[in-house]
Each structure stands twice: as C-alpha cells, then as structure tokens.
C-alpha cells in the first residue's frame, strides 16, 4: 500500500506557498491598486498591475523568488518615480503611490506562508488608507468588500483547504467580515475620538474639487463635466425660484488679457458695501464639501457672515482657514436687493474699469461705437451686448476652440463658441471698454431640488460665471450673458447640466440625484460623526456631554454584556461530547461492510481491517484503498481532521455500496 499523502495545507518539511493562496494574494494586491487608482497616474497603476500579473504567470511556470537584483532595482525605482511625478515623497497622494509600489515589490519575494501573511497585513492597511481620499458610502462599501480576497488568502493559508477551495475560502472570509460589523459599530460609537483628524499628512496643495481663483477660457471645463457633489443646502422654507439660484463664490476684478483673477481690489480691507433688502431674507444651512480653498458660497447676495468667516467688500464669504473637511454653516441672504445703489467709491470704480493695454482692439472699438450711440444710457449698452450674444450667431458649446492672444476679439469676431466663462469674460470686458464699471462673479447656479429630503443639491457641473455691472441708481446689477445665447450644444459628459448645457440629460442622472439623499445621510451621520457628535451620544440618558472616561466605561459595559450573552448561549447548549464526524463516517463504512459479511474484529486495527476488506472485495478494491488512505491520514497525520476533507470522506462513504464478497 502507498504511503499516506499529507493533505493540502498541513505543515510538512516543505512549507512553500501553495498556488491557491498565492493567487488569492495577487487578487488582494490588485484590489488595493484598484482602490487607489483614482488618485494615482494611469501609467503608474498600469505598470504595478503588470508586475502583479507577470509575477503570477512566472510562479505558475516555476516557483521561486524573483532575482534579487530586479527586486532592488524596483525598490529604488518606486520612490524615484513618485518623486518625479509629485515632486515630493510626502503627502497623501505620494505616500499612497509609494506604499502601493512597495506592496507590488513584496509580491516578488512572497514564497512562504509567513511572507503571504505579512503581505496581507500590509495590503489591508493600504486598502483602508484609500478612505483618506474618498469617504462616500458607495466607495466605503467597495473598500469593505475588497477585504474579502485578503481574508480568503488567510483562510487558504490554514491547513485543510483543498486546492480548489475558492468557495470555502471566500465563504469563511465573508462570515468573518459579517461577524466583525457589530464590533466595528461598537468601536465607531464608543472609542474616544480626537478633536482634530489623526491623519495630518499634507496634500499636494491643489484643490481636488471646486474652482480656483483664476478664470481663463477653458478653465471651468473640468468642473462643468464633473458631477461630483459640491454642496447641499437646506432652506428654512421653500427654495428660491430657479432664476434666483445664483450662489456667489468669488469676485474677479483684474484682467491681464487672458485670465481674470481677484486682484488687489479683493484683498483690500474695505468694509462690505451697503445692501438694500427689498424682500424677506432667505435663511438656509450649507454643507460644503472639502475644496482645500478659503472661499465659501452663499445665495446671492449674503447679508451677514457665518461664524469663523469673513465678508469681503463685494459680499463674498471666505473661511479663516482652508476648507479641508466638510463645513457646515448658516447664512441669511437677500434675493431682491440693491448693492451699493447710491454711489460707487472712486477706488472701486477705478478697479472695475481697469483693462490691460495692447489687448483686443476690436472689442474696444465696438464698445466705443455703443457708447457713442447710447450717450449716457449705460442700460442701453448692456442691452446692446446681450443682443449681440442673442442675435450674433453665438453658440454655447463646452468643446470650444482655443483662443489666440487677443482672446476677447477672437471669441467675439471669429470663433463665437464657448461657455459661461467666455461670455462672462467678453461681456465684462465690453462693459469696461464702454466706461461701465463691471466685474466677473464665479460660483454655482441652478441645482437639483430634492423634494423628498427638502434640500438643494449643487454639483460641480453647476459651476457658473456671470457678470455684475454698476448702474447709477441701481447699484451692482447681476447680468448673466450666457443666458442670452439662443443656440446651445449639449455636451454628452454625464454632468448635472447646471451651467447651460453643462451636461447631458442621461437616464442615470435623475436617479443619481434622487439617491443622493443616501449619501447626504451617510455624510451627516457617519462621516460627520466627530468628537462633538460623540460627546452628545448619551444625551438620551440625561448626560449632556460624554467625557472620554464615560465613553470608556460605556465601551467596557458593552463588551461585558456581549461576552456575557455569548457565555449564556454557550451554557444553554447540550453538554454532551462533541460529535466526531470522522468516527461517524468510519462506523457507517464498517456497518455497510458487516452487512455483507466483513466484520471488524475487536482487536483489529483500521489498517488491517481495510487490507482484509480490499482482499475480500476485488471489485471495490480501488475505492477501499482510497478510503483507507484518507481515513488513516485524517485520523493519524493531522492534529485535528480538517472539516472540508472530513466532509469529503463522509460523502464518499455514503456513495459506497459494496455488493459481493469473494468466497
């Protein structure tokens, strides 16, 4: 009889990494790369994925570590490539790129279970760090599910899993992941939180969402095609009409011939200009997502500044520090107002009329003709400019052609194609050239009103630019030249279409807007669960503010009750000896053999009994030899019979039906 075969997963002289756990480990690394792919260069992610695939293919053909020289070269190449791309090894993006690269390199030397376990632990840490970049509900669920390959890898490294045990490995991982959720919830609620974020790694200095303080033709294109959420607004009463949903962000005063920027006028410490309110104020709450900038947004026009915010002379709001976390603030705004109607400060007038020399002579000449025809009627010049955009064959299109040095002239007389920033820039330039104080305002316009949850959803694709002109007796008046364009080409971008034509009307967008209420709940309840929210956790029990000691006591009580409940369940179970499934299957086999005359002797060992059975049943000799080998290995070669192989042995015993005995 052949020597018993040691089952897969048991520890023997050669404890190399089997194909199944190595394949699961490769899947784990690929999940980590997929989670971090949105904030890593495409080529970098592709190279790392190719390294994983090449390593998997190489190990299929021949086991063994990759050459040490190659590993050292990759170890040096990873941080060098990251520094070349980001300019620094510090920060969230560079740090994530480095650790992802090191994880792929670790795979090149993983040949033993110990290496695989270390790689899985490292992979789980990197996978969880992806939540530093995105904490949306859908992404959090995806990251949680990506833990399954890691848990399946750890299960495959344990003794007793057959070579084709993909399903058992993932089933065990899913059970463990589900069982950990109550403990995770308990820790989330009761482990004391820091007042400031634990992860203070600096970013790369570039806003990941939102607009910048520079507006040139084409700069807003990336926003108008991005349907990421910018802010959510809840009104005390009914929302304002759609034509009044302009949310003021920045005022751009200075033009250098190409781009509009805030300029010196926005930085001077002038007090806010007076505002005359003609209707009741609109009160509302804003939840602004991180933009890594200082400016805040308010319904045009805000009359006061929220806490920790400053109101500029042009009634713009700015935070005292960069908005790196979700910001909640309350504002009151007037939608029917007069802004500085009586007089305009000479310094503000000069800033609102300044134009660079040597640019756009055609626009200057056109504005002078309008001034000559209108005389002192500034409102007539405004009407002439709007009529030009309405009747002059202008087109709204996100795929606008690039403009030359004289960008305003090129747009007005040649391309005649653009979107909101083109029209706001050209209109403001024409007004200044005609002697009318004007400025550009950048913010958001429109939005989706969720009647079920009663809040206004503003996406990045709702970004918009418009103009303000100062007219005697009326003050600063909002003029939206983009709205005058009659021909619109809608862009098939998947955006939310807040800016005119800023996105498509795809079938998915309405559903995405409706389902945003789930993301709003997630952001307020989970992502927004900070130290202040945790301090209010025990208010239903009469505790106004829970201290760290109270939270610790609550956590200890919860753990004690959980353990006590588990002990109670264990005590209620019957106290009989646990059933030995392997012995039960062996007894069934002996019973079936006894029915045809092969009875095991009182002092006969299992090896001798199986040998005698093989001799007595030549037609079933092959099956009996297999059962004999499996039983002897499971009973005597393992400290504890692996459950999967025990069940397989019992299944083969049930299917064994001996018929004849050799006489």
Which residues make beta-bridge pairs with 448?
457
Catalytic entry in 397, 410, 480, 499: 480
Give the residue carrying structure tokens 């490539």. Answer: 81
- Sort residue 117 into left (φ over 0), alpha (ψ -120 to 50) or beta: alpha
Query: Does residue 328 carry a catalytic annotation?
Result: no
For helices 42-61 and 92-107, the axis angle rounded to 10 degrees is 10
C-alpha span between 356 and 354 (Å, rounded): 7
Q: Where are the alpha helices (DSSP H) in 248-300?
A: 263-267
Catalytic entry in 464, 499, 516, 638: 464
* Cα 216–chain centre separation: 29
Token pair in block for residue 6? 């040691």
Nearest CA to 455 out of 363, 595, 546, 328 is that of 328
Catalytic entry in 31, 420, 462, 638: 420
Query: Does residue 219 carry a catalytic annotation?
Result: no
Q: Is 163 helix (H, G, I), strand (E, B) or coil?
A: coil
* Cβ-contact 310, 343 below 8 angstroms: no
Q: Where are the alpha helices (DSSP H) in 309-360?
A: 346-353
Q: Which residues contact 157 (CB under 8 A, 6 or more apart)?
A: 9, 21, 113, 116, 117
Which residues make beta-bridge pairs with 298?
248
Residue 505 DSSP symbol: -
Q: Is 560 helix (H, G, I), strand (E, B) or coil?
A: helix
CA trace torsion 345, 349, 352, 356 (10° rounding): -140
C-alpha span between 10 and 647 (Å, rounded): 17
Count of helix runs (H) and strand runs (E) in the chain: 22, 20
Pairing of strands 487-489, 463-471: unpaired
Token pair in block for residue 283? 């009160």
Buried b (16+ CB within 10 A) or exposed e, 539-576: eeeeeeebeeebbeebbeebeeeeeeeeeeeeeeeeee
Q: In what order do the strands lie in the sheet with 395-397?
A: 417-418, 395-397, 487-489
Residue 486 DSSP symbol: -
* Cβ-contact 425, 385 below 8 angstroms: no
Query: Does residue 464 carry a catalytic annotation?
Result: yes
* Cβ-contact 621, 662 below 8 angstroms: no
* Cα 187–chain centre separation: 22
Q: Is 316 helix (H, G, I), strand (E, B) or coil?
A: coil
CB count within 10 Å of CB 439 equals 27
**Residues annotated as part of the active site:** 420, 464, 480
């Amino acid at each position: 009889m052949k020597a018993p075969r040691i089952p897969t997963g048991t520890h023997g002289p050669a404890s190399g990494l089997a194909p199944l756990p190595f394949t699961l480990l490769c899947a784990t690394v690929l999940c980590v790369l997929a989670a971090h792919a949105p904030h890593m260069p495409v080529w970098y992610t592709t190279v790392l994925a190719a390294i994983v695939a090449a390593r998997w293919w190489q190990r299929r053909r021949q086991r063994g570590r990759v050459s040490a020289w190659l590993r050292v070269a990759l170890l040096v190449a990873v941080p060098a490539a990251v520094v070349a791309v980001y300019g620094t090894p510090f920060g969230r993006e560079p740090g994530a790129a480095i650790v992802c690269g090191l994880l792929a390199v670790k795979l090149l030397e993983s040949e033993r279970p110990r290496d695989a376990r270390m790689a899985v632990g490292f992979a789980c840490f990197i996978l969880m760090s992806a939540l530093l970049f995105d904490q949306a509900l859908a992404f959090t669920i995806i990251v949680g599910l990506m833990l399954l390959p890691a848990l399946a890898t750890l299960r495959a490294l344990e003794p007793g899993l057959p070579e084709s045990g993909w399903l058992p490995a993932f089933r065990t991982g899913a059970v463990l992941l589900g069982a950990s959720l109550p403990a995770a919830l308990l820790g989330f609620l009761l482990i004391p939180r820091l007042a400031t974020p634990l992860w203070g790694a600096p970013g790369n200095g570039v806003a990941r969402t939102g607009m910048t303080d520079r507006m040139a033709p084409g700069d807003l294109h990336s926003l108008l095609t991005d349907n990421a959420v910018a802010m959510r607004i809840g009104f005390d009463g009914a929302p304002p009409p759609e034509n009044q949903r302009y949310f003021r962000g920045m005022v751009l005063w200075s033009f250098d011939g190409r781009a509009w920027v805030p300029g010196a006028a926005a930085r001077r410490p002038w007090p806010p200009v007076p505002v005359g309110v003609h209707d009741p104020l609109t009160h509302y709450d804003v939840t602004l997502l991180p933009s890594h900038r200082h400016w805040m947004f308010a319904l045009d026009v805000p009359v006061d500044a929220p806490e920790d915010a400053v109101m500029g002379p042009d009634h713009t709001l700015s935070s005292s520090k960069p908005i790196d976390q979700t910001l909640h603030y309350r504002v009151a705004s007037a939608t029917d107002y007069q802004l500085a109607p009586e007089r305009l400060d000479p310094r503000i007038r000069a800033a609102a009329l300044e134009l660079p020399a040597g640019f756009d002579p055609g626009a200057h000449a056109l504005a002078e003709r309008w001034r000559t025809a209108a005389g002192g009627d500034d409102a007539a010049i405004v009407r002439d400019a709007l009529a030009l955009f309405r009747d002059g064959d202008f087109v709204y299109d996100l795929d606008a052609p690039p403009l030359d040095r004289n960008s305003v002239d090129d747009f007005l007389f040649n391309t005649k194609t653009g979107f909101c920033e083109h029209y706001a820039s050209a209109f403001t330039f024409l007004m200044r050239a005609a002697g009318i104080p004007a400025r550009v305002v950048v913010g958001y316009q429109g939005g989706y009103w969720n009647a079920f949850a009663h809040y206004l959803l503003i996406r990045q694709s709702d970004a918009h630019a418009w103009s303000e002109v100062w007219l005697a007796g009326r003050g600063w008046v909002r003029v939206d030249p983009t709205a005058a364009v009659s021909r619109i080409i809608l862009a098939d971008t998947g955006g939310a279409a807040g800016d005119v034509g800023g996105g498509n009307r795809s079938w998915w967008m309405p559903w995405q807007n409706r389902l945003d209420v789930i993301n709003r709940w997630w952001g307020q309840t989970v992502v927004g669960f900070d130290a202040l929210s945790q301090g209010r956790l025990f208010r239903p029990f009469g505790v106004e503010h829970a201290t760290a000691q109270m939270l610790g006591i609550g956590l200890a009580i919860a753990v004690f009750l959980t353990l006590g409940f588990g002990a109670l369940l264990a005590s209620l179970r019957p106290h009989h000896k646990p059933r030995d499934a392997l012995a039960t299957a062996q007894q069934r086999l002996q019973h079936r053999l006894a029915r045809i005359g092969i009875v095991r002797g009182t002092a006969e060992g299992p090896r001798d009994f199986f040998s005698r059975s093989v001799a007595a049943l030549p037609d079933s000799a092959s099956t009996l030899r297999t059962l004999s080998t499996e039983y002897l290995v499971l009973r005597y070669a393992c400290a504890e019979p692996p459950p999967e192989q025990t069940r397989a042995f019992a299944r083969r015993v049930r299917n064994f039906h001996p018929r004849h005995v050799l006489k």
